[in-house]
Amino acid sequence: MPINYDELMAMKAMGQPYAYTDREVMLYAYGIGMGADPMDERELAFVNEATAEPRPLKVVPTFASVAAWGAGPGDMKLNRVLVVDGERDITFHQPLAVAAKITADSSVLAVSDKGKDKGAVIRHQTILRDESGAPLATLVASRFARGDGGFGGPSGGIPEPHPVPSRAPDRSVEISTRPDQALIYRLCGDRNPLHSDPEFARRAGFPRPILHGMCTYGLTCRAVLQTYADYDASAFRQHAARFSSPVFPGETVTVDLWKDGHVISFEARVKSRNVTVIKNGKTVLG
């Protein structure tokens, strides 16, 4: 059924209730590969609360992307098999607690028709709030619906991507993924069989299950955490990226970073296939 532009633009859902505990916080950190070295105290601080000397558990900033998993404006009735993540942009208003009850306000921001053979891009926003109603994080997401273009809607409404410097990267970080990384990460909420079922992946046009784009997004957050943020989660003000190509579980992701004041630009690539998987990345630290 073709997209109804006016109906889609009017979609919203306010005050959606959610709650999470330290279990979900640690599972997310483990899902993006933190703690792979069981002797690295800097990463253990995100995945282990059981210590000889008391210390606070840390929350990865991009945990905000799964803290209210399932929150959204509603069922957009898209062709699920052909939907992939396009972009994610999270603005952090305050650090996330280790456990909390939160609410989520979601609405559609823009719907762009790229044509029958090119699909549609839907941008929507979710604001996470604490029990007092104060904003914790604002998440702007875009879905690339490859099978839903050609409905006669506007073709604009998508902001220009963040420009990455043309100079050589200031730093590069290599992050290995596990062959079963997607099977771990899906336990954070995204049970799309594209990431777990070989036959579903083949029908979607991939030779095997792919890693969640949001897991790759988390890897880029790790890269900034360990380089320019000194593992200080509270330093993050924004983390945004465009998904340009999938990662296959088991591959090594190289994250290239450029620092200009408080702005960290980044891109990510898989050298073994000579493909860029994340483009136009931007982190703001403060």
The CA–CA distances, whole Å, from 176 to 75, 187, 257, 286 equal 35, 19, 17, 28
Q: Which residue is catalytic, options 105, 113, 124, 195?
A: 195
Rg (CA), the chain: 18
Catalytic-residue membership of 190: yes
Q: Which residue is catalytic, options 85, 105, 113, 190?
A: 190
Q: Are 169 and 256 in contact (CB under 8 A)?
A: yes
Q: Which residues contact 145 (CB under 8 A, 6 or more apart)?
A: 3, 76, 78, 79, 82, 83, 119, 120, 121, 122
How many Å apart are CA 283 and CA 236, to the nearest integer? 7
Tokens 């991009």: give the residue.
62
Catalytic-residue membership of 262: no
Q: Which residues contact 71 (CB under 8 A, 6 or more apart)?
A: 13, 16, 18, 104, 106, 126
Tokens 């941008």: give the residue.
123
Query: 140 φ, ψ to 5°?
Result: -110, 125
DSSP letter at 195 equals G
Residues carrying an active site annotation:
190, 195
